[in-house]
Structure 1
Amino acid sequence: MDDTAAALKAIPLNRRPADWTRGLAWLLSMQNKDGGFAAFEKNVDHPLIRRLPIESADEAAVDPSTADLTGRALHALGLKAGYTENHSAVRRALHWLYRRQEKNGSWYGRWGVCYIYGTWAALTGMKAVGVSGEHPSVKKALSWLKSIQLPDGSWGESCKSCEIKTFAPLAYGTAVQTAWALEALLQYEDPREPLIQKGFRFLIDDGLHQPKHLVYPTGIGLPKQFYIYYHSYPFVFPLLALSAFIKQMEMREKR
């Protein structure tokens, strides 16, 4: 589902309309009955499967809806298909996200580390389909992201988060997680806000130059067993966040 959503955003609709429409139809057909989107399969989350006598069966034997996949599916549906909250698939996905938001305002992301990741995916998806910044879920999520910013302007989260299922901060920030947090905030916040400026200053001056900010694993293979360091992440996601920042500043200058 993740790759199909990304492909739909990359393929120009006017160049390959038939193929693009087929991809969109397939993505919509894979929406789970609970309204969310999973990674590989549809409706594979029966509670009995989680009780199989296999180590980490509750993580490896099922493929439930997740905030990261649901958020990115919404991002594709809003950004390229032009769907809004009025569309039934979008409405069901949003309701799933609202129900799964943590009490502190974050969302748990299954395939990245972890609550920063899930919250980034949820907010970018919600913004793409037109969810207002006045929505209670948006306000709670933004407040949570601001509350966990480190003194140097960065954001960092430990892989321990997915083991204990609650946010576990790192003692230092990472370039990837800082970029996720900044892009999420930019969906609704003024790019001139001091904490956003401070975050980008961290990325430019420090985050992309110090090894410890670049090499901490931010991908999840299987909680408690293995985590993934993607070599491109420390460069791709800061570039996406910087691009979002420049676009927001340009929009304000044109007003």
Structure 2
Amino acid sequence: MFGTTLSYICMRILGEGPDGGQDNACARARKWILDHGGATYIPSWGKIWLSEDLYYPHPLIQDLLWDSLYIFAEPFLNCWPLNKLRDKALQVTMKHIHYEDENSQYLDIGCVEKVLCMLACWVDDPDGDYFKKHLARIPDYLWIAEDGMKMLSIGSQLWDTAFAIQALLASGLTYEMGPVLARGHDFIKKSQVKDNPFGDFRSMYRHISKGSWTFADRDHGWQVSDCTAEGLKCCLLLSLLPPEIVGEKMEPERLYDAINIILNLQSKNGGVTGWEPAGSKNWLELFNPTEVSADIIIEYEGVECTSATLQALVLFKKFYLEHRTKEIDDFMSNATKYLESIQLPDGGLAAAGKTYDNCVAIRKAVEFLLENQLEDGGWGESYLSCPKKEYVPLEGNTSNLVQTAWALMGLIYSEQGLLNFLVHKLYTHAKNGTRHQAEAKGAVDAEKARSFEVVTFGDVAARSRWHIRGVDWLERESRGIKPFCRKRQRRMCIDKIH
């Protein structure tokens, strides 16, 4: 209802008639809205944007409550001395808004906050520099897809680049891809956050960020644990290759800063949070103002963040044995226990650092994957699994290429040989090597589905062989040993999968 109603309104504002749009888009959208109860069923976020004309109904009790605010409360609060308190509250609010704006170069943490902060700056001063700086960063959120212009939740430049580089490294085509790897390496090094938020950031309720990587780029400024882990992994792996191919490796001190970020984001239970350390009480969720997102008021540990940081630290130890050894060992031990402790009864999560033969959690995870393999050999999972906290297949039991890749990598990493799937499923890309858009691959905050388009056949097939052998292959590359011919590489990948 949220998306359909606002999209319908935008089409009408942009000039489409009641029956306008491609294939009668407006008429079909209007019918869907009415068939599902009408625009009044839109969640509170939608009501904010629709409230200008007050098109949703008001029961009498609500009218009495709001009228009391307009008639009594607001005039009363504008009288001295209460108006001083009101002015102070508004000043503090704008101070926090400006602090967030300036620390993120007016990108803010995401599109929802960006729009609201920009609106607040316009109300505060329509001709001011703050509002004009906001306008300059709007293009960062807009992009043109196959079916028209869309808006990002936030850019994913670092996230996409890190996985693309790891896929290219895994392909064994280092020399052919040298210029691409060098440019990607340069972007990752430039994208690392080099300073903490300015000023007394603790008083502004911000955490350290020096040494981290964000989801987008350095301008964004918000540290993310798994993005930091993936950026760190890329820098470590690329440091094994000759600098004349991929550029100079990152300085150890900057790698140490990244490790400091990761270690600071582990909770007492061993899990790792996404943005900031956990610490607030669960009852604060009672103040959640949204109707579309659960568990967003406080920080929670997540299996994805825990897994990514654990993998990064395992790799880091191969390069720097003496740096904060005990802290890293404790982190890894506690993270592994956390992953084992939150595994679902159906085996839907895999523990780290163990094998199919010696770990019950791994065996349960493998059984879960094999039981949910589809007839065509692939895997497909609906975004509904996130809010429901249980496995839900895609509608029609169809498979999804990226989720097939993830499942396959999980089976390979478990070091067991029951890889019973159809290899041709992995070749569902176009002739130019790209793939067609498919269903959402994951979600943020459990409710907001997202599409990630980074995993390819090379990342699955070649990367599987590479990860099983560890970093030995890259070490051979750094000694100047030429890679296998492409035909032999492809043959070995397929043999490994079989």
CA shift, 1:58, in A, is 3.4
Distance 1:6 1:189 in 2: 23
- Contact 1:37–1:70, Cα closer than 8 Å, also in 2: yes
Please point out which of 281, 292, 296 is paired with 1:60: 296
Once the two structures are superposed, residues 9-35 of structure 1 have per-residue CA deviations (whole angstroms, 9 ceiling, x without a partner) of: 011368321211221122112211221
The one of the two structures with greater contact order (alpha-carbon pairs below 8 A, sep at least 6) is: 1
1:228 maps to 2:454: no
Does the residue aligned with 2:285 lie in a helix, a strand or coil? helix
Q: Which range is displaced more, 211-220 or 132-141?
A: 211-220
Counting aligned pairs with the same residue, the percent is: 24
Q: How many correspondences in the alignment? A: 224
- Contact 1:221–1:227, Cα closer than 8 Å, also in 2: yes
Normalising by the residue count of structure 2, what TM-score does the alignment of the two structures yield? 0.41
Aligned to 1:136: 360
Does the residue aligned with 1:87 lie in a helix, a strand or coil? helix
- Contact 1:173–1:213, Cα closer than 8 Å, also in 2: no
Once the two structures are superposed, residues 212-253 of structure 1 have per-residue CA deviations (whole angstroms, 9 ceiling, x without a partner) of: 9742111313444x32223x33xx254321223343557x99
- Contact 2:233–2:315, Cα closer than 8 Å, also in 1: yes
Question: Map of 1:4-153 to 2, 5 A cutoff?
Answer: 4-12=228-236, 15=249, 16-44=251-279, 46-55=281-290, 56=292, 58-82=294-318, 87-107=329-349, 122=350, 126=352, 130-133=353-356, 134-153=358-377
Aligned to 1:111: none
**Residue identity opposite 2:441 in structure 1:** T
**Residue identity opposite 2:312 in structure 1:** A
Distance 1:158 1:213 in 2: 18
CA shift, 1:45, in A, is 5.2
Aligned to 2:168: none
1:187 maps to 2:423: no
- Contact 1:4–1:23, Cα closer than 8 Å, also in 2: yes
* Structure 2 unaligned blocks of 5 or more: 1-224, 241-248, 469-491
With over 3 angstroms needed to count, the CA separation of the structure-2 counterparts of 1:4 and 1:245, relative to structure 1, is closer
Does the residue aligned with 2:232 lie in a helix, a strand or coil? helix
- Contact 1:219–1:227, Cα closer than 8 Å, also in 2: yes
CA shift, 1:43, in A, is 0.9
With over 3 angstroms needed to count, the CA separation of the structure-2 counterparts of 1:227 and 1:20, relative to structure 1, is same
* Structure 1 unaligned blocks of 5 or more: 108-121
1:165 maps to 2:423: no
CA shift, 1:161, in A, is 0.8
Off by >4 Å, runs of 4+ in structure 1: 83-86, 209-213
- Contact 2:278–2:298, Cα closer than 8 Å, also in 1: no
Distance 1:60 1:66 in 2: 13
| RMSD over aligned Cα atoms | 3.0
Once the two structures are superposed, residues 132-176 of structure 1 have per-residue CA deviations (whole angstroms, 9 ceiling, x without a partner) of: 331111111111111100011100001111121110011111111
Q: Which range is displaced more, 33-42 or 7-16?
A: 7-16
Normalising by the residue count of structure 1, what TM-score does the alignment of the two structures yield? 0.77
**Residue identity opposite 1:195 in structure 2:** N
Aligned to 1:174: 400
Distance 1:158 1:186 in 2: 23
Aligned to 2:461: 242
Distance 2:266 2:288 in 1: 29
1:217 maps to 2:460: no
With over 3 angstroms needed to count, the CA separation of the structure-2 counterparts of 1:239 and 1:51, relative to structure 1, is farther
